[in-house]
Amino acid sequence: MERVVQLGAEKEDRELKSFKLEVDVDEKYHPKIIGRRGALITQIRKKHDVNVQFPEKGSDNQGQISIIGYQANTEACRDEILGIIKEYEDMYTEEVKVDSRIHPRIIGSKGRGINKLMEEYQVDVRFPRSSDPDPNMVTISGAEDNVLDCKDYLLNLEEEFLQDFVDQEYLRQLERPTGASKGDAPREKRGPPTAGFVVKNAPWDAAAPNTESQEEFPSFGAVVAPKGRSWGPIRK
């Protein structure tokens, strides 16, 4: 009977802990809730003893987050998540166009460059996704002064990188072969190549002599070597 009571209590506890609360959060804030390498969401889960599930790619509602646990715990977790979002919404946000060709150089290897930038200016920098209409638009959020300072830094960085890009392109143009320059016409339009310097009536152009011709090679009779000695000079 004690075991039956225990199993019943465990079953009831599992049901209580299976309470599911859903909250709609703009998907652009999901990375902020997850944190770097999942550190923030892991902390929230442990703090409230809940399981937080984000929507899978391709699901109907990309903004819906599910919180599973005791009802009181899920509600506390929801309030904390909404509080984090409100902080971001209250931040000063500004969009700035930065040439998309230099985005990888700003982000750096494994995100080291952008992480250092955000820590230095105490701002959040978000780059456009492939589905966004403008691939050059970068969003900066944070305290207003910090955002403006970061914006100036990015624009100066863009100018330096683009100047390097122009210089490199100019050097490539100089290194390109003359025949491959943009001003040259395609080979099929330039006509056949010229023959260059040509030697005429050279000895090697004459026909080979006819060895059977009596005029070119007259017969002088056969030369027979004397008997009793081999070819070579006569020794006295």
- Summarize pLDDT for 211-231 with one digit per residue, the tens: 666 665 565 555 555 555 555
Amino acid 205: pLDDT: 62
Higher pLDDT, 217 or 45: 45
What percentage of the chain exceeds 90 in pLDDT? Answer: 35
31 secondary structure, DSSP code: H
pLDDT-derived band at 134, boundaries 50, 70, 90? very high
- Is a pLDDT exceeding 60 seen at residue 236? no
d(CA 101, CA 118): 20
- Is a pLDDT exceeding 70 seen at residue 100? yes
| Whole-number Cα distances in Å, 205 to 212, 213, 215 | 21, 20, 21
**Which residue from 98, 87, 150 is spatially nearest to 120, judged by alpha carbons?**
150
| Whole-number Cα distances in Å, 229 to 207, 222, 234 | 41, 18, 9
d(CA 4, CA 189): 95
Amino acid 220: pLDDT: 52
Q: Which of 27-36, 122-131, 146-155 has the highest mean pLDDT?
A: 146-155
pLDDT-derived band at 191, boundaries 50, 70, 90? low
User: What is the chain's mean pLDDT, rounded?
Assistant: 80
Determine the average pLDDT of the residues in 193-202.
59
Q: Which domains can be identified in the chain, with CATH numbers?
A: 1-90 (3.30.1370.10), 91-177 (3.30.1370.10)
* Bridge partner residues of 125 (DSSP): 140
d(CA 34, CA 39): 7
Amino acid 161: pLDDT: 83
Higher pLDDT, 69 or 176: 69
- Is a pLDDT exceeding 90 seen at residue 140? yes
d(CA 189, CA 226): 74
Q: Residue 125 has which token pair? A: 């920098």
- Is a pLDDT exceeding 80 seen at residue 199? no
Determine the average pLDDT of the residues in 190-215.
60
Determine the average pLDDT of the residues in 147-155.
94
Amino acid 54: pLDDT: 92
| Whole-number Cα distances in Å, 198 to 193, 201, 202 | 14, 10, 10
Q: What angle do CA 105, 147, 86 make, to 5 degrees?
A: 110
**E strand spans, the chain:** 19-24, 51-53, 64-69, 92-97, 123-126, 137-142
d(CA 159, CA 98): 9
d(CA 201, CA 109): 69
**Which residue from 36, 37, 39, 33 is spatially nearest to 67, judged by alpha carbons?**
33
pLDDT-derived band at 27, boundaries 50, 70, 90? confident
Lowest mean pLDDT among 11-25, 157-171, 195-209: 195-209
* Bridge partner residues of 138 (DSSP): 96
153 secondary structure, DSSP code: H
Is residue 25 helix, strand or coil? coil
